[in-house]
Amino acid sequence: MKAFGYERAASPADAAAAARRPGTRFIAGGTNLLDLMKLEIETPAHLIDVNGLALDTIDKTGDGGLRIGALVRNTDLAADARVRRDYPLLARALLAGASGQLRNRATTAGNLLQRTRCPYFYDTDQPCNKRLPGSGCGALEGYSRQLAVIGGSRHCIATHPSDMAVAMRALDAVVETVKPDGSERRIPLAEFYLAPGSSPQRETVLEPGELIVAVALPPPVGGRQLYRKVRDRASYAFALVSVAAIVHEDGRGRIAVGGVAHQPWRREAAEAELPRGAKAVAARLFDGATPTDDNRFKLTLAERTIAAVLVEAQEVRA
């Protein structure tokens, strides 16, 4: 690990202002960043510790939703009585992710910002445009079983690993930030992640130094909320395919899929097909997919997982 500077932030605005300097990163739980630093995939010159900021509460909003502080730990968020009652989809997604020890440290903001687990990104002997822009994408002609089937480009087919983000996409979450100049903005999660295009190293719309301070959930939408994760082993594994679903009695609902793209994959047009069943939903959801020979199976797996979720929703209503 290379030497780096370190400081503790006194306020969100101070943290963002200090992060203007090149090579600066925020650190909270560190469950992803520290691993990347040890491998010298990330080599920040300076770390700003934000753990002391008052961003670790879950508060009710004026419209009946919830505002989740950026530093709320995944364990605490999953256990919150309001989340379990009104947003059970989110609690289930969180409990499907990582191990109990990691959930105790991982934060809400860090979960959204965790980087891909593509093997070519982690292997510094392999080409990876996300790690080293312009070096190429080893996955395109290499091992791509776990990687994206839609939304990728000829420069990158990495997937986003978060379970929590998939649930939050289905719930229409909004990310709240503060910029280095002290201004604030609200970013719908639907607009938060960037497609890889020709610059996969830039993964979100966040500007340099911009700090996530909270994630807001709109008022509860009700319905039967389910999260199903398909993976190679029962614990501590990232999704091959995951499905976050909200299904109402009249057949309307929402579907977001993880493990298939650079972001939680949701197309509202596909949700109009829910009354027709999983096959119609999947056809619209994955229209334009470009799978490799290694991961083509994900399209079938996603359709079957959506079907299983819809059957479960019907069984509960019955």
pLDDT tens digit sequence for 12-45: 999 999 998 999 999 999 999 999 999 999 999 9
| pTM for this prediction | 0.96
pLDDT in tens, 51-74: 999 999 999 999 999 999 999 999
Cα–Cα distance for residue pair 206/175, rounded to 1 Å = 10
pLDDT score, position 314: 84
Residue 209 scores a pLDDT above 70: yes
Residue 2 scores a pLDDT above 90: no
Mapped to the 3 state alphabet, what secondary structure does 59-122 carry?
A: EECCCCCEEEECCCEHHHHHHCHHHHHHCHHHHHHHHCCCCHHHHHHCEHHHHHHCCCCCHHHH
Close Cβ partners of 58 (under 8 Å, ≥ 6 residues apart): 66, 67, 68, 69, 72, 76, 77, 80, 82, 83
pLDDT score, position 236: 82
- Report whether 204 contacts 193 (CB < 8 A): yes
| Tokens of residue 263, six digits | 């972001």
Residue 235 scores a pLDDT above 90: no
Average pLDDT over residues 229-237: 90
Q: Confidence class of residue 315 from pLDDT cuts 50, 70 and 90?
A: confident
Burial class (CB in 10 A: 0-12, 13-18, 19+), 98: buried
pLDDT score, position 98: 86
pLDDT in tens, 90-120: 999 999 998 889 999 999 999 999 999 999 9
- Report whether 97 contacts 103 (CB < 8 A): yes
Cα–Cα distance for residue pair 94/77, rounded to 1 Å = 8
pLDDT score, position 317: 55
